[in-house]
Amino acid sequence: MSPRYAYYPGCSGLGSSLEYDTSTRAMCESLGVELVDIPDWNCCGSTPAHAVDHLLSACLAGRNLEIADGMAEERKLDGIITPCPSCLKNLKTTQRSLSDPEFRRKVEQVLGKPLRAGLPIKSVLQVVVEDLGVEALGRLVKTPLAGMRVVPYYGCIMVRPPRLMRFDDPENPMALDNLLRELGAEVLPFALKTDCCGAALGTVRKDVVARLSGRILDAAVEAGADAIVTACPLCQMNLDMRRPQINRANRSRHNLPVFYYSQLAGLASGQGEAATMMDKLCVSPRLLLNSLAQHTGERA
């Protein structure tokens, strides 16, 4: 029987990372993973909630866990999955905190209902890599990303903290490396694969994001990459949409595109540029996609 998960898209999936949400759904469908949206889901509170109060954070995340619990049996759900690492960290932190009975009592009081929160919670990436195996994605490849040199950028919290996330190696994760290789790309070693991009400080402290994201772009170019590939909406936004701010602050002229891994999975499996929403990227991947098409044409 095909796996079936409660799906938590996260707020950015409705706006700034629409292409991530859309290509993730398409990837899951082609892999036979059924997604059941958590009905009427709400924001997990993200960084602001846990930085303001752990109880508030747990209550906002907890409402979603409670809704998923409610349909788990009837829909035979295997767990809850989300593409966003920040949502993932909040959902998993909440589940862990509920093991303290006193804390659970407070959360249930604020929610006004009991909470089970027993379903496993994973990232979409973890399900693809660990449960299905990257080979499953490899079998769907029609036009390999041959000749495309990429660096995988995981961001900080897809694999951290390790005792909470329980996925891959916290210092040198390989999930994206292996996945992208399976799609036919040339994956380059990247020392900054888990270094922070500046995260939520983009709006308030541009100097911090310009420096941290700038370092990642410098290192990617130095490694000889044509593109950066990520799995985090906030990392992608900082590296892509904030590129003019970063280039201005650092007097750099970086122009390499930043894809979501799910977009490249779609492209390699023949979904095309429109379906994978390549036009949503702020730094245009046009030249790279043209040369990829040429490369594929030559081989055919």
Q: Contact positions toward another protein, by CB under 8 A? A: 11-12, 14-16, 18, 40-43, 45-56, 59-60, 63, 106, 109-112, 156-157, 160-162, 170-171, 194-196, 198-201, 203-205, 207-208, 211-212, 241-242, 244-245, 279-282
Phi and psi torsions of 110, nearest 5°: -70, -40
Q: How far is the CB of 265 from another protein (least distance, A)?
A: 21
Instruction: Supply φ then ψ for residue 82, to 5 degrees.
Output: -145, 145
Minimum distance, C-beta of residue 150 to another protein, in the bound complex (Å): 22
Q: 31 or 61: whose CB is closer to another protein?
A: 61
Contacts of 73 by beta carbon, 8 Å cutoff, 6+ apart: none
- 8 A C-beta contact, residue 115 and residue 104: yes
User: Toward another protein, which CB reaches closer, 161 or 270?
Assistant: 161
| Shortest spacing between CB 84 and another protein, in angstroms | 12
Nearer to another protein, 2 or 99 (CB): 99
User: CA of 263: how far to CAs of 58, 92, 98, 203, 229, in Å?
Assistant: 31, 26, 35, 26, 9
List Cα–Cα distances, 45 to 197, 227, 261, in angstroms. 20, 31, 25
What is the smallest separation between the CB atom of 11 and another protein, expressed in angstroms? 4
Rank residues 85 and 184 by Cβ distance to another protein and give the closer one: 85
Q: Is the Cβ–Cβ distance between 136 and 142 less than 8 Å?
A: no
Which of 196/268 has CB closer to another protein? 196
Q: Tell me how far, at minimum, the Cβ of 149 lies from another protein, in Å.
A: 25
Angle CA 114–118–123, to nearest 5: 125
Which residue is associated with the tokens 């932190």?
A: 93
150 touches 225 (CB < 8 A): yes
Q: Closer to another protein at the Cβ: 194 or 276? A: 194
Tokens 């041959």 belong to residue: 146
- Nearest distance in Å: CB 135, another protein: 29
Q: How far is the CB of 299 from another protein (least distance, A)?
A: 32
CB atoms inside a 10 Å sphere around CB 140? 17
Nearer to another protein, 150 or 165 (CB): 165
Cβ closest to another protein, residue 33 vs residue 157: 157
CB 103 within 8 A of CB 97: yes
Distances (CA, A) of 217 to 24, 165, 173: 25, 26, 19
Task: Report, in Å, the least distance between residue 269 CB and another protein.
Answer: 24
